[in-house]
Amino acid sequence: MVFPDSKGYFGKFGGKYVPETLMAALTELEAAYKKYRKDENFQKELDHYLKDYVGRPTPLYFAERLSNYYNAKIYLKREDLCHTGAHKINNTIGQALLAKRMGKTRIIAETGAGQHGVATATVAALFGMDCHVYMGEEDTKRQAPNVLRMKLLGAEVIPVTSGSKTLKDAMNEAIRDWVTNVRNTFYIIGSVAGPHPYPMMVRDFQKVIGKETKKQIQKQEGRDPDYVVACVGGGSNAIGIFSPFLNTETKLVGVEAAGLGLETGKHGAPLARGDVGVLHGSKSYVLQDEFGQIKEAYSISAGLDYPGVGPEHSYFKEHGMVAYGSVTDKEALKAFELLSRMEGIIPALESAHAVAYLEKLAPKAKGKVIVVNLSGRGDKDLETAAKALKESL
């Protein structure tokens, strides 16, 4: 069975729950994507930019000291070495090339940590497009360096002051912009969330992470890994690296943000603690109250501070295809420091959640081959981390 089905469902998750005004745009987008994903010239252009502009393939790096520390064979998929510092650009290049072919001149995006916003502003500059990025006011503060980067790249950054002033609200505002300017605007969604065809399209553009990892681990280990670990906010880096290992012997682990602790209610773990609902155009696990009001998520990492999750992850969870765990702010900060000191790599706070999961996984995986998706670099998080780590830094 190929997912999603023709209506955009992964089992019972997904779909298109959007205002009627957007339905025509989604149909147009789906048709364009179906046409171009098999188009040789489109693929050639995409491959060209991924290689010469983004810097792919990214290395699969054997982390020797970390491996010794945890008594396992740990590899890091270095998405942090992508141009702009995270995996997000794999997707924005793809969508921008699509936008260009569809004759759309105005680009909008939502961003949490700012990595997707930067990756969108970057491709908009590259292809000479007008770019507007919605970002929760709270996030513009904690990810200030990325705001400056977007502005330098020529994008307009619009702080969103409604609701929790984070990623969820930025996405609401981006959708409102899209409803208003739908005729000339292409909405580049940054995760495997949103209405169909976005979860499928973003997944497909991020599959490159998994394809490379599979080849690289085969070359270095002569076999597939025992585990692949990735953090899950909306879930695009995880879907990307998981995809070639689904339904194989490799165990897949998605790590959600436990924030201050799952029991405190202050977290970003809809798969662990949410209920099925509809948010931002698709049906999936969502943090919500008994009347369906969306709850505010919380995480020290702006990219994981989201009450929803991509519908395909909900499907994976329901069918036991991926195991989902969670990591608190504190544990992530510890991993942030550990990876910096032990490997000379400062991870994004999002990716630090995946690294932190090793603490739980390693004791039961002695000698096993573990790939951790290092989805982004941590320069943007220095201020947040410095504040939180003030005792030890």
Concerning whether 340 is annotated as a catalytic residue, the answer is no
The yes or no reply on residue 265 touching another protein (CB under 8 A) is no
| Cα dihedral value 229, 167, 320, 266, nearest 10 | 90
DSSP SS3 for 117: helix
The yes or no reply on residue 6 touching another protein (CB under 8 A) is no
The yes or no reply on residue 95 touching another protein (CB under 8 A) is no
| Preceding amide of 199 cis, omega within 30 | no
| Residue of 32, 279, 327, 371 that binds another protein (CB under 8 A) | 279
The yes or no reply on residue 12 touching another protein (CB under 8 A) is no
Q: How far is the CB of 278 from another protein (least distance, A)?
A: 4
| Residue of 153, 158, 252, 286 that binds another protein (CB under 8 A) | 286
Q: Out of 104, 191, 375, 380, which one is annotated catalytic?
A: 375
| Residue of 43, 68, 71, 162 that binds another protein (CB under 8 A) | 162
Concerning whether 110 is annotated as a catalytic residue, the answer is yes
Q: Compute the distance between CA of residue 365 and CA of residue 253 in angstroms, rounded to an integer.
A: 13
DSSP 85: S
Q: How far is the CB of 348 from another protein (least distance, A)?
A: 26
Kind and range of the H or E element at 115? helix 115-127
The yes or no reply on residue 189 touching another protein (CB under 8 A) is no
The yes or no reply on residue 183 touching another protein (CB under 8 A) is yes
Q: How far is the CB of 188 from another protein (least distance, A)?
A: 17
The yes or no reply on residue 155 touching another protein (CB under 8 A) is no
Q: Compute the distance between CA of residue 313 and CA of residue 309 in angstroms, rounded to an integer.
A: 7
Select the span of 100-108, 161-169, 363-371, 372-380 touching another protein (CB under 8 A).
161-169
Q: How far is the CB of 169 from another protein (least distance, A)?
A: 8
What is the gyration radius of the CA atoms in the chain, in angstroms? 19
Question: Tokens 């409803």, residue?
Answer: 179
The yes or no reply on residue 216 touching another protein (CB under 8 A) is no
- Which residue in 21, 346, 82, 123 sits closest to 236, CA to CA? 82
Quote the tokens at residue 28: 């147009």
- Could you give phi then psi for residue 356, rounded to 5 degrees? -60, -25
DSSP 254: E
The yes or no reply on residue 218 touching another protein (CB under 8 A) is no
Q: Out of 30, 110, 212, 312, which one is annotated catalytic?
A: 110
Question: Tokens 């394809």, residue?
Answer: 211
Q: Are strands 106-111 and 185-187 parallel, antiparallel or unpaired?
A: parallel
Q: Compute the distance between CA of residue 208 and CA of residue 216 in angstroms, rounded to an integer.
A: 12
- Which residue in 220, 215, 147 sits closest to 369, CA to CA? 220
Q: Compute the distance between CA of residue 47 and CA of residue 44 in angstroms, rounded to an integer.
A: 5
The yes or no reply on residue 246 touching another protein (CB under 8 A) is no
DSSP SS3 for 130: strand
Select the span of 80-88, 211-219, 224-232, 273-281 touching another protein (CB under 8 A).
273-281
| Per-residue interface string for the shown chain with another protein, residues 105-144, x marking contact by CB under 8 A | ----------------------------------------
* Closer residue to another protein in complex, CB, 20/40: 20
> Per CB under 8 A, which of residues 21..80 are in contact with another protein?
21-25
Q: Out of 77, 88, 165, 283, which one is annotated catalytic?
A: 88
Residues lying near another protein in the complex (CB under 8 A) are found at: 7, 15-25, 162-163, 168, 172, 175-176, 179-183, 275-281, 283, 286, 288, 290-294
- Which positions are catalytic? 88, 110, 375
